[in-house]
Amino acid sequence: MTSTMTKTQAELAAEDPYLWLEERNGKEALDWVHRQNAVTVAELQGDPSYQGAFETALDLMTAEDNIPVGAALAGHVYNFWQDKTNALGLWRRTTVASYKTDKPEWETIIDFDQLSAKEGVKWVFGGASRLYPDFDRCLLYMSPDGGDASEMREFDIATKSFVADGFRAPASKSGFSWLDKDTVIVSAAFEEGDKTQSGYPRVIKLWRRGTKLEDAGPIFEGEKQHLAVGGGVEFDGDKRHVLLGKTIDFFTSHSFLRLASGENRRVPLPDDATDTAIFKGQLVFGVRSPWTAPDGTRCLPDGLYSVDFDRWIETGTFGPFETLLEPAHRVSFAGLARTQDRLFINLMDNVRGKVVVCDRTDKGWSLKPVGLPDNGNVGISHAEHFGSSVSFSFTDFLTPSSIIWSDDDAEMLQTVKSQPARFDASPYISEQFEARSRDGTMIPYFVVRRRDQTGPAPALLYGYGGFEVPLLPGYAGIRGRLWLDKGNAYVQANIRGGGEFGPAWHQAALKGKRQNAFDDFAAVAEDVVRRGITTAVQLGIQGGSNGGLLTGVSLTQRPDLFGAVIIDVPLLDMLRYTELPPGASWIAEYGDPSKPEEAAWLGAYSPYQHVAADAAYPPVLLMTSTADDRVHPGHARKMAARLQAACHGRTMFFEETEGGHGGRGDRRPQAAQTAMRYVFLQRALSTGPKSGSRFSENPVLD
């Protein structure tokens, strides 16, 4: 008989009894969702502890003393703000001087609750592209449901109104940026011919004011199989560069400079160049794999390099390459940002943050560390491209976030915002350990627990492990109040596949090596049990998106290691993920199930295909969103249905009808989901199965 991993996608689809649940808005599928939601809401929101947990989560999410994180531009700090009164939020601004005070005087630009009430659409703010050099006009993004697809409208900040007969485009995954006040660069994803196979823009067009969007002329195209294209204007001092990009997949791309002649000249960097910036005539870049530059310079991952960009524009050839920053053991890049006169490099050193400030003179590069706190998560909050203001964030698991501000390129630093403590951190300790994975690799992880813990306690293990995304220490008041304060522990695993230690750490779990990430996570789980921090029956796990795949695999491969599993907005059917848009965009990460060799490794771990009727699975909670247009809700729906059909009645499912992949929009449903997760964990890990509930062994059939 043909094995699951060697069948074609058509054969798999024909055999899939839950294919109908992939119909995002199909009546039968939504009826199933509503029945599932009713059971889960009754069970979890009916728990006596739910209401208090919900109120705590909502209070903290919408607290008026939360830090208003903002970015400075032309004398103002812009901020998006949500609280209990402003559920959909305010886009607002204040002066830099006022921002530094305890009570800034905010000027509302757009009230999205008022706009939504007026237009009958729950608009979710998605950002704005402002027009140089006055920054008084913007191209405003608004999502009608919290998903990635957004409507664009031209907006006048000075008059606080949409521009009559201005630029406007319907909701899509297109991108827009200003070329000048009468021309917009459109990365188009409207019609099928405009889209890549992943549903993202394939064609870049120039749209002139006063003309129809459909009449915009193409200037650049990618291939159907590419991930996306994008374009915009980059300023380096008074020089303006029009840059166009062709993203081949998640980790490779081609960049082009559009010349005055209309020629699109490719910038001859390696396909996997990363961390690029243009600064004082220099093109700064890193690489994901070793590359020998034309002059013989050896460029290595986790290093940073530069070359004379102005010379290349004039001559078409690169001159000498320079090493800006040498690679170092377990040090990797978290990002680059620049002000008008300085370049800032955000680094991670053994999963702890630091920032280096760089200058460029006739003598070359000069570097020095920014005097920020040690042993925590340090990030660059903003860097004013056309000025000299820059701000940094600092936090760790037990230290509330703060904003450290400078108006002079980090010469003088001032803490201007500090979030109040949301729980008493004095009884707790944050520790970093290492676990030995199956292949011998040492995997770092953090544990936050009570200092006086003398025996095993319920613990929540969180992981991600994909797409070069690092998991860094961070303060979470809700976690403190609803989890730590109940005597529980929190564990955060820095498994391979993430970006904690640069490209090599990610590549060690790429495609056919994915099992390494799952083994790493299991190794951390075993290690916290071995150390006596928790026991297997007291250990819950949680992950979202790619982390949802991680927890789904952990459920099916090692159910003995865990007492509860939360699977959020997940990928779970890895043999059909490319058929659920925009799944094809992740082939560079996971592999292509249409190719037999790659289907073999995908099928070896794909959770949906590995649900077993005779397995002793712990309680499971799957959560997703109907409006999620990044990871299709069909993954979570089908997994829940298959688990329940296999008589695993301790499986619960909940689907929010709005909010998209990241849960954007109204905080109330976000608070409700958060409270339900903690109620689920507390019940599963602190008490035994309850008769007649989904924590019992009796399945609830639909």
Catalytic residues: 545, 661
Give DSSP secondary structure letters for 248-277.
EETTEEEEEEEPTTS-EEEP---TTEEEEE
Q: Are 56 and 482 in contact (CB under 8 A)?
A: yes
Please answer whether residues 586 and 635 qualify as being in contact, where contact means their C-beta atoms are separated by less than 8 angstroms: no
In whole angstroms, what is the distance from residue 110 CA to residue 114 CA? 8
Nearest CA to 4 out of 605, 582, 552 is that of: 605
Would you give the end-to-end CA distance of the chain in angstroms? Answer: 31
CA distance 199 to 630: 10
User: Checking DSSP bridges between strand 399-406 and strand 252-258, what pairing results, if any?
Assistant: unpaired
Question: Which of 291, 252, 293 shows the shortest CA–CA distance to 271?
Answer: 252
Q: Report residue 363 as tokens.
A: 């003598």
Burial group, residue 613, by CB count within 10 angstroms (0-12, 13-18, 19+): exposed
* Dihedral, CA of residue 407, residue 408, residue 413 and residue 419, to nearest 10: 30
Beta strand 364-369 with 377-383 is: unpaired
**CA geometry: angle 119, 120, 121, nearest 5 deg:** 95
User: Do 390 and 379 contact (CB within 8 A), yes or no?
Assistant: no
Whether omega for the bond prior to residue 473 falls within 30 degrees of 0, making it cis, is: no
- Between helices 515-530 and 546-557, what is the axis angle to 10°? 70
3-state helix, strand, coil in the chain (%, to 5): 25, 35, 40
Cβ atoms < 10 Å from Cβ of 22: 20
- Contact assessment for residue 349 and residue 339, using Cβ atoms and an 8 Å cutoff: no
For residues 237 and 682, give the distance between their C-alpha atoms in angstroms, rounded to a whole number.
Answer: 55
Question: In 3D, which of 554, 550, 643 has the Cα closest to residue 590?
Answer: 550
Q: Which of 446, 435, 432, 442 is nearest to 523 (CA)?
A: 435
* Amino acid letter, residue 586: W
Q: In whole angstroms, give the CA distance from residue 359 to residue 346.
A: 15
* Residue 626 identity (one-letter amino acid): T
E strands, 209-251, are 217-221, 228-236, 239-249
One DSSP character per residue, 136-169 reads -EEEEEEESSSSS-EEEEEEETTTTEEPTT--EE
Q: Is the peptide bond before 458 cis (omega within 30 degrees of 0)?
A: no
User: What one-letter code names the amino acid at 602?
Assistant: L
H/E/C letters for each residue in 571-593?
CCCCCCHHHCCCHHHHHHHHCCC
